[in-house]
Amino acid sequence: MSDKQHHPIKKIVIIGPESTGKSTLCEQLAAHYQTKWCPEYAREYLLQHGTDYSYEDLLTIAKGQLQLEDDYTAKTESKHQFLFIDTDMYVMKVWCEVVFGKCHPFVLQQIINRKYDLYLLCNTDLPWVKDELREYPDLVFRQKLFKIYKDLLVNQSVPWQIISGKSEERLQNAIRAVEEFYPVKN
């Protein structure tokens, strides 16, 4: 039985290369719709364990992300129409393949099993912001990653939209994208 039958909320996933404003957008969208957003488990994990991660660590991170998502899904009351999710198994797949040249079967299976309602793909039009966890400042490489994400989304059935623009404009574009697919009931 899918979680959709228990929960009328729409799960909207924000994905894209690092430093494209995913967390900020999740936070802003959750505030706009007065609902919750699920953070990226990897940030917490890497801050705790350091950035010298292994292929096995990525499996631990993937499982942690799914557990966090399930916790937030359970906590999101049905009066809220949306849950915004920062990162999913597509991000884990790309991360595994780019860094280690292979992907955990568990991650691939979760991509098949998990159901989402909309993907928002963040464009690389924001300046790269350095922080202790980010690895890829090169714009050409970030654009290559963006194309990988775009190709993944093209080849699956969930609706998706590219989100571009600076700060407020980016948020407004994301709100428009959400409401194009799921007009808000008052």
Rounded mean pLDDT, 18-37? 93
Q: Which domains does the chain have, with CATH numbers?
A: 3-181 (3.40.50.300)
- The string of pLDDT tens digits covering residues 98-110 is 999 999 999 999 9
Burial category of 56 from C-beta neighbours within 10 Å (exposed 0-12, middle 13-18, buried 19 and up) = exposed
Q: What is the band of 80 on the pLDDT scale with cuts at 50, 70, 90? A: confident
What are the φ/ψ torsions at residue 11 (nearest 5 degrees)?
Answer: -95, 115
Q: Reply yes or no on whether the pLDDT at 7 is more than 60.
A: no
Determine the straight-line distance between the first and last CA of the chain, rounded to whole angstroms.
29
**Residue 76, Cβ neighbours under 10 Å: how many?**
21
- Structural contact between residues 76 and 98, judged by C-beta atoms closer than 8 angstroms: no
Beta-carbon contacts of 78 under 8 Å, excluding residues fewer than 6 positions away, are 7, 8, 9
E strands in 8-115: 10-15, 37-38, 82-86
Total residue length of the chain: 186
- The string of pLDDT tens digits covering residues 109-159 is 999 999 999 999 999 998 767 666 666 667 788 899 999 999 999 999 999
Q: Which amino acid is at 106?
A: F
CA distance 71 to 53: 25
pTM over 0.85: yes
Note the pLDDT of residue 1. 39
